[in-house]
Amino acid sequence: MATSTSSASSASSKISPMNSPSLRLPRLLATALIVGILAACSTRPPAPAPAPAAPPTPVAQPPLAGPTAVPGTLAQSKSRWVPVAWSELPGVEEDALHEAWNAWLRNCERPAPAFAPLCGEVRQLSIATPEEQRGWMERRLQPYRIETPEGSAEGLLTGYFEPYLEAARQPGNGFDVPLYRPPADLGTRKPWYTRQQIETSREVQAALAGRAIAWVRDPVEAMVLHIQGSGRLRVQEADGSVRLVRVAFAGTNDQPYKSVGRWLLDQGLVRDATWPGINAWARANPQRVNEMLWSNPRYVFFREEPLDALDAAFGPRGAQGVPLTPGRSIAVDRQSIPYGTPVWLASSGPTAQLARLVMAQDTGSAIVGAVRADYFAGWGAEAGELAGRLKQNLRLWALWPKQ
């Protein structure tokens, strides 16, 4: 097999867990932890060809709202960037920059205009020492603390990942939950049918006949895959062979997203929507699991992509159009941070301590605001557990080319 859950854990090798259980829990527990924080995740769109990212506009007119603008401050639609010294960045001397360089090389496949002139040097530095890489960054890039227009530098960090599921090409033997390609008439009817209609209506199922990519065992795991927007399948082929493939986001039914955790809370069925509460409720109420799942009418359709050895070392393509690097790619609000921007990230909390170079390469419908990021943890059980628990404070610094 080209990869395993352990391959994703190496991408987070420099994360320091705090007061957390072992990261080697069973796959179902790790996946289901995501369900407990559904509001922190969102289905990701496909990777369209992004429009070139314009550099931040110098604030000369009109003056910034809030505190007095620092000379040299830059502005985006939802954020302001305040120039700072490199010494302000926590842990800047300790980061294993060679890990981030893989993500930077991916950036250079579709660079933002401001960074395209640097890509030749970035490629040359891919085999440099961390000290050489750090020295180059300090010479060529200016750090800017990212703040809200009102001057707050504090925000929220969450996580996302690629679920890793067992699957089969044909239903049966416990594999009875389909993952569908988009139906032929998806664009002619908006919104398309709800999750409940898709799973119960003969008319709708007829429209999806022959559209199943594969079948998985657990409807809750399938819903997590829908929420994350992509995943990896270890597929049993009809001839008995096994193949690793990726299923990537290909569209939705255009129905609103609703959190099943919120539904359980609103119904008074659990006191908190973390995994222990949801899992205990599902075990005690198997006859109501579909009712819980159907409370979220949003349904995601996928496309199948091959996974060769190189592809398997990276995640799916993000909104920038480049493959995501575990532990080094983040999803951001593009109105705060342009795609392709190197970002220094600092976060501490009950789940992890992070101080590292990452790349803004993706987005998500729930990732909104100036100081807001979703951390791509990788794939499989360990990444799922980390992503499922990650919800803590955040500070960000954009690294922009010096003029």
Same domain, 192 and 259: yes
User: CA nearest 81: which of 386, 280, 371?
Assistant: 371
Same domain, 234 and 300: yes
Element (H, E) at 137: helix 130-140
Tokens of 278: 């949801």
Same domain, 180 and 222: yes
Dist CA 366 CA 190 (whole Å): 22
Q: What integer pLDDT is reported at residue 10 of this predicted model?
A: 38
96 in a structural domain: yes
253 in a structural domain: yes
57 in a structural domain: no
Q: What is the largest CA-CA distance in the chain?
A: 69
Q: Do residues 84 and 145 touch, judged by C-beta distance below 8 A?
A: yes
Last residue of a domain, which of 266, 282, 309?
Answer: 309
Residue 250: Cβ within 10 Å count: 18
CATH number, domain with residue 174:
2.40.240.50
Side-chain half-sphere CA neighbours of 243 within 13 A: 17
Same domain, 197 and 236: yes
pTM comes to 0.80
Q: What integer pLDDT is reported at residue 32 of this predicted model?
A: 40
27 in a structural domain: no
Task: Domain of residue 251: give its range.
Answer: 35-45+161-309
150 in a structural domain: yes
Same domain, 188 and 281: yes
Last residue of a domain, which of 309, 344, 373?
Answer: 309
Same domain, 153 and 95: yes
Same domain, 323 and 233: no
> Under 8 Å CB-to-CB from 106, ≥6 apart: which residues?
314, 322, 323, 325, 359, 361
Same domain, 177 and 279: yes
CATH number, domain with residue 395:
2.40.40.10
Q: What integer pLDDT is reported at residue 16 of this predicted model?
A: 47
Backbone phi, then psi, for 169, in 5-degree steps?
-75, -25
Same domain, 82 and 218: no
265 in a structural domain: yes
Same domain, 201 and 300: yes
Coil vs helix vs strand at 54: coil
Last residue of a domain, which of 255, 289, 309?
Answer: 309
CA of 114: how far to CAs of 118, 135, 140, 356, 373, in Å? 8, 20, 12, 22, 22
Same domain, 95 and 41: no
174 in a structural domain: yes
Dist CA 198 CA 253 (whole Å): 10
Dist CA 47 CA 320 (whole Å): 7
The pLDDT tens digits along the chain (403 residues) read 333 333 343 344 445 444 443 333 334 333 444 444 444 455 565 555 444 455 554 433 333 333 344 668 888 899 999 999 999 999 999 999 999 999 999 999 999 999 999 999 999 999 999 999 999 999 999 999 999 999 999 999 999 999 999 999 999 999 999 999 999 999 889 999 999 999 999 999 999 999 999 999 999 889 889 989 999 999 999 999 999 999 999 999 999 999 888 999 999 999 877 655 676 788 899 899 999 999 999 999 999 999 987 788 999 999 999 999 999 999 999 999 999 999 999 999 988 899 999 999 999 888 999 999 999 999 988 898 888 889 999 999 999 999 8
Dist CA 232 CA 315 (whole Å): 10
Same domain, 134 and 237: no
Tally of domains within the chain: 2
28 in a structural domain: no
